[in-house]
A = this chain, B = another copy of it.
Amino acid sequence: MGQSKVCLVVGAGAGIGGTVARKFAEEGYHAVLCRRTDEAKLSAMVDDMRARGLSASGRLLNAAEPDTLEALAASAEAEGPVDTVVYNLGAQIGNRALGDTPLKTFELGWRMACFGLFRIAKAVIPSMVERGHGTLLVTSATSAMRGNAGQHSHAAAMAGRRLLCQTLNAEFAVQGIHVVHIVVDGAVDAPDTLGKMLGAERFAALRDAKGHDKDGLLLPEKIAETYYHLAQQHRSVWTHELDLRAYSDVAWWNHPLDL
């Protein structure tokens, strides 16, 4: 196990995180999945991967607490050289007016979306630099690109995440570290995140309206293909930022319009 390159996924639910972990494992990586809660689900994901002959391990972790991400990085490195980190922690709390956004909420959003990335970068990059190679795939959102009403916490935190990706590339690309800021601009067909935020009923309605064979929700297994492609880009042609959205969605800078 110590021989395989490790793909460490921070935020491995049933949506992007877990699916990307499985994709990398299918391509020969050892996947380390971590998430905040639900040990049963985490074990099921890891067991399912192992049952299919893939190499994986899992652990629970609260990224908002001190030393957790640092310990995670160390323990993942103990399972093999951490080649790729997928930073997939969300901080979306739905739309909240300023008056309904407590200071603690704003701070927690930053701890998850921005500070956590800084911490994991500090923890994993030195070893990557020694090896001359490493990849950070950072899941991001429309809110990293512009503020919008109700997104006080989310937009401020994700904007920090975005420019942190740029500072990391500016310092470390030349040392072989590739950081990609991936703007997921739309609703993902992910029961663990969107499903929880909306509740079962509204999520089912959204799936009926846009999902299934209409492909109006981003499919995690299709997202995973692009994540994997990005991690394999030759160092002469690295992507620093790209967007992903369903064909039937308008981009964040557009309003729906009848022609």
Q: Is the C-beta of A172 less than 8 angstroms from some C-beta in chain B?
A: yes
Q: List 24 A-B contacts (CB under 8 A).
A: A98-B121, A98-B122, A98-B171, A101-B122, A110-B110, A110-B114, A110-B160, A114-B160, A118-B156, A145-B253, A146-B254, A147-B164, A147-B168, A147-B169, A148-B253, A149-B254, A150-B167, A152-B171, A159-B162, A159-B163, A219-B234, A225-B237, A239-B243, A253-B253
Contacts of A150 in B (CB 8 A): 167, 170-171, 257, 259
Contacts of A110 in B (CB 8 A): 110, 114-115, 160
Report the minimum CB–CB distance from A98 to chain B (whole Å).
6
**A115-155 interface code vs B (CB 8 A; 1 in, 0 out):** 10011011001100000000000000001111111111001
Stretch at the interface among A74-82, A197-205, A244-252: A244-252
Contacts of A167 in B (CB 8 A): 147-152, 155-156
**Contact (Cβ within 8 A) A248 B114:** no
Report the minimum CB–CB distance from A51 to chain B (whole Å).
26
A242 to B241 alpha-carbon distance, docked (Å): 6
Q: Which B-chain residue is minimally distant from A157 (CB atoms)?
A: B160
What copy number does this chain have within its complex? 4
A172 to B254 alpha-carbon distance, docked (Å): 13
Q: Which B-chain residue is minimally distant from A154 (CB atoms)?
A: B167
**Contact (Cβ within 8 A) B245 A242:** no
Report the minimum CB–CB distance from A40 to chain B (whole Å).
29
**Contact (Cβ within 8 A) B178 A251:** no
**Contact (Cβ within 8 A) A166 B148:** yes
Q: Which B-chain residue is minimally distant from A228 (CB atoms)?
A: B229
Q: Which B-chain residue is minimally distant from A255 (CB atoms)?
A: B255
**Contact (Cβ within 8 A) B251 A252:** no
Given known A147-B164, A148-B257, A156-B164, contact A240–B251 (CB-CB < 8 A):
yes
